[in-house]
Amino acid sequence: MSDPSQLTAQQAAQEAFLAKKKAKKAARRNNALEEANLNITSLMDVVSIIVVYLLKSYGTDPVVITPTAGQKVPMSRADAPIQDGVPVYVSQRSITFGSQRIVQLDENGDVDPTQVQGQLIAPLFDEMSVEAERSKQTAAAKGEEWEGTVILVGDQNLKFSTLVKVMYTAGKAEYSQYAFCVIQING
Amino acid sequence: MARRRKKNAEEGEVEANLIPVMNVMFLLIPALLLAMEVARFAAINVSPPKFAAQSEQKEEDKKKDEKPLNLKVFIMSDGYRVSASGQQAGAEGGKSADSSKPTIPLAKPGSDLKDFDRYDYAALEAKAQEYKRLYPHETVVTISAENDIPLQSIIKTMDSLRGRDCKLMNAVSGNEEVPAECLFWSPIVEAGAG
């Protein structure tokens, strides 16, 4: 059997402990919230490096090739870099020049015969002539010699007859150099 | 004096709010990634017929002692017809061309035109190597095709004629000469095969 005086002392100690705990809790609650400082300087460094790298790789390409929707650019082992020039996108359904769809192709990939004069695709010729004239003036203002280069971004299934028509039209619009855009493969 | 020191100490603790800058940076990253080329693009420089004729003339002036090869490859639906110096390879004796059979038949006879591996590219490359041994200075090849031949088959034909180990990157940049492994790397695209 335990002594009643001992029990009272234990209870008093317990109460004192609880009171102290409560007081601490109250003090903690009354304290103003400390502002947490997130150090983002190192993160900022990493992000800056990534942005500079991306900007640099974006800026070194002389021509940005953005194939049209559904267009499959041919694959090749060629490794020559793309030189500066004007891209002409020829998908299976249309011919796009200067971000504008110029000619619609039929389901066989042929140009509408009403838009062709011999081998010349008339609407494409008009647009390319305007662009050639503009480029010539820009080159003359810079004191440079104008090199009419066309980058033909064709589809894998583009028919040879359509390709020849596009090349002929570009030639008539005074573009004298041609390059086929391909996706580089190894091996 | 003491007040100024205190003011300076307070100014030293001021931190720039980088959150808006970070927001802009985080928007720039996906924008630039989208604008970047996912695939690596390359170019095959092609000459139109009239300019090629001029360059051939210049080559002839340089090497008057060497007879021009005038290599032509016609991509037909049944295979390649290869001709050099106006004579089709494999044609019957006394005939300049034999329209009944191709010089290099299809690797996959009866396959669809959209099957880009239907042509025997290895045999064409071997043929190009034969001609290159005979005419080491020649680089020009005229390529023509039937109307329905897809661009990918034409590109693969150009690859074979250029040679498997041909690397033109440095030569195009103007740093080096064209490597000896390159066979016929200057193609002319010409209409009229069909």
Q: Where are the domains of chain A?
A: 62-184
Distance from CA of B98 to the nearest CA of A (A): 23
- Among A182, A183, A184, A186, most B C-beta atoms within 10 A, so best to mutate, is A182
Query: Has the ipTM of the complex gone over 0.95?
Result: no
A49 — contact with chain B (CB < 8 Å)? no
- Among A38, A162, A180, A186, most B C-beta atoms within 10 A, so best to mutate, is A180
Tell me the pTM: 0.73
Please give the C-alpha separations between residue A167 and each of A180, B21, B70, B84, B182, in angstroms, as whole numbers. Answer: 11, 48, 22, 25, 25
pLDDT band at B52 (very low <50, low <70, confident <90, very high): very low
pLDDT band at A62 (very low <50, low <70, confident <90, very high): low
pLDDT band at A27 (very low <50, low <70, confident <90, very high): confident
Q: Do B35 and A58 touch (CB under 8 A)?
A: yes
Reference B143, options B42, B52, B41, B43; nearest CA is: B52
Q: What DSSP character marks residue A115?
A: G
Reference A170, options A153, A182, A157; nearest CA is: A153
* Domain locations in chain B as residue ranges: 2-35, 49-189
Distance from CA of A166 to the nearest CA of B (A): 12
pLDDT at A8 over 70: yes
Reference B194, options B139, B147, B126; nearest CA is: B147
The dihedral built from the CA positions of residue A91, A64, A74 and B137, taken in this order, carries a sign that is positive
pLDDT band at A120 (very low <50, low <70, confident <90, very high): very high
CB B181 within 8 A of CB B64: no
pLDDT, chain B, mean: 80
Alpha-carbon radius of gyration of chain A: 37
Q: Distance (Å, rounded) from C-alpha A67 to C-alpha A155?
A: 9
Percent of chain A with pLDDT over 70: 91
pLDDT at B127 over 80: yes
pLDDT at B144: 92
pLDDT at A2: 55
A148 — contact with chain B (CB < 8 Å)? no
Q: Distance (Å, rounded) from C-alpha A177 to C-alpha B43?
A: 12
Supply B31's token pair. Answer: 């924008």
Q: Which residue of A has its CA nearest to B21?
A: A44
- Among A48, A66, A77, most B C-beta atoms within 10 A, so best to mutate, is A77
H/E segment holding residue B97: none
